[in-house]
Structure 1
């Protein structure tokens, strides 16, 4: 009998389910932790992109509108 079959018999209904990170937090599994890291990383990159776009608008586009008001 292979190790997988032994583990399946030992775990029973819990076989294939994600393990909890801490025994006192059974709802916090490794899969949910990985999902949290993925979502926050994506959010961080979106925030960086928004910040760069805002900087471009303030640095380059904003002064050009102010310059036109002074010239006219």
Structure 2
């Protein structure tokens, strides 16, 4: 008997189902990976907006006479 068949018999209905991160939190490992990818992408988008905002205030603003730094 192969290892996969042995594992399938041992796990029963749980065979082929994704494992939870913690038994008492219904979040699978693939869902946690998707969440990490989404939050990382969101963080980089936020950093990009911060840079654009900073450039607007620091460079474009004084050119129009707004928020001059003395």
Shorter-chain TM-score bucket reads 0.7 to 0.9
Q: Which moved more, 1:49-58 or 1:4-13?
A: 4-13
How big is each residue's C-alpha offset from its partner over 1:18-70, in whole Å with a ceiling of 9 and x where there is no partner?
10111122x11111111111111000000000000101111111110118xxx
Structure 2: distance between partners of 1:51 and 1:22: 36
Structure 2: distance between partners of 1:7 and 1:49: 48
Q: Quote the residue 1:39 is aligned against.
A: 38
Give 5+ residue unaligned stretches, structure 2: none
Question: What is the TM-score of this pair, normalised by structure 1?
Answer: 0.77
Give 5+ residue unaligned stretches, structure 1: 68-72
- Greater helix share, structure number: 1
Q: Quote the residue 2:19 is aligned against.
A: 19
Q: How many residues align?
A: 66
Moved over 6 A (4+): none
